[in-house]
Amino acid sequence: MIVVFQTRAADDAARIDAWWREHRRDAPDLFTAELKAAIAVVVRSPTIGRLAAQNDPDLGTVRRSFVNRTRYFIYYRINEDVLEILAVWHSARGEAPELG
């Protein structure tokens, strides 16, 4: 499966990684390591993530998977053999990101 980050998701991940490296000196690589591990799980089991919005027809195929230690969600969808990462969003932010 090919993994593709939308621009927004790539920007999210880069911003979060920079923050993590600056503020989490005891585990500067944790965010990146967890993100890679979570993506590997989704690649093996694409439906493992919960549907992001069950009542929204525009987001019907968008799923989210929780990254445990860093508490981020990965929002993604599968298009044939492509895993498209749409956003990386912290669980404390409340509502889901605007994905439309």
Instruction: Quick: pLDDT tens for 40-62.
Output: 999 999 988 888 875 566 666 88
Q: Which of 56, 75, 57 is nearest to 65 (CA)?
A: 75
| pLDDT for residue 33 | 94
Q: Is 39 helix (H, G, I), strand (E, B) or coil?
A: helix
| pLDDT for residue 67 | 87
The pTM is what?
Answer: 0.87
Neighbours of 88 (CB within 10 A): 27
Residues of the chain whose pLDDT is less than 70? 54-60, 96, 100
| pLDDT for residue 56 | 60
Longest dimension (CA), the chain: 42
Instruction: Delineate the domains of the chain, giving CATH numbers in brackets.
Output: 2-91 (3.30.2310.20)
| pLDDT for residue 16 | 93
